[in-house]
Amino acid sequence: MTPIDRAISHLHSLDASARLDSPLGRLDARAKVLVTLGFLVTVASFGRHQLLQPLPLVILLSAGWALSEIPVRSLGFRLAIASPVAVLIGMWNPLFEPEPMLRLGSMVVSAGWVSFLSILERFLLGMAAVLLLIGSTGVDAVAAALGRLGVPRVLVTQLLLLYRYVFVLAAEVERMLRAHSLRAPNRPRPELRTVRSMLGELLLRSLARAERVHAAMLCRGFAGELRAVTPLRLGLGDALFVLAGLGFLALVRLADLPRAIGNLLR
135-145 pLDDT, tens digit each: 888 888 888 88
Q: Whole-number mean pLDDT of the chain?
A: 82
| Full-model pTM | 0.81
Banded pLDDT at 59 (limits 50, 70, 90)? very high
Pairing of strands 100-104, 107-110: antiparallel
Please report the pLDDT score of residue 5 as a whole number. Answer: 60
Average pLDDT, stretch 232-240? Answer: 84
Which among 10, 72, 65 has a CA at the least distance from the CA of 36?
65
Please report the pLDDT score of residue 228 as a whole number. Answer: 62
pLDDT exceeds cutoff 80 at 262: no
Pairwise CA distance, residues 139 & 160, whole Å: 7
For residue 151, give its domain range. Answer: 3-258
Q: Please, which residues have CB within 8 angstroms of residue 17's CB and are 6 or more apart in sequence?
A: 68, 70, 74, 135, 136
Q: Please, which residues have CB within 8 angstroms of residue 161's CB and are 6 or more apart in sequence?
A: 226
Banded pLDDT at 245 (limits 50, 70, 90)? very high
Residue 264 lies in a domain: no
Average pLDDT, stretch 201-226? Answer: 82
Pairwise CA distance, residues 198 & 189, whole Å: 12
Question: How far, in whole angstroms, is CA 119 from its chain's centroid?
Answer: 16
Q: How many CA atoms lie within 13 A of 83 on its CB side?
A: 14
Please report the pLDDT score of residue 2 as a whole number. Answer: 59
Determine contact, residues 41/250, Cβ cutoff 8 Å: no
The count of structural domains within the chain is 1
Pairwise CA distance, residues 133 & 116, whole Å: 26
Q: Which amino acid is at 198?
A: M
CB-CB neighbours of 81 under 10 Å: 12
Residue 10 lies in a domain: yes
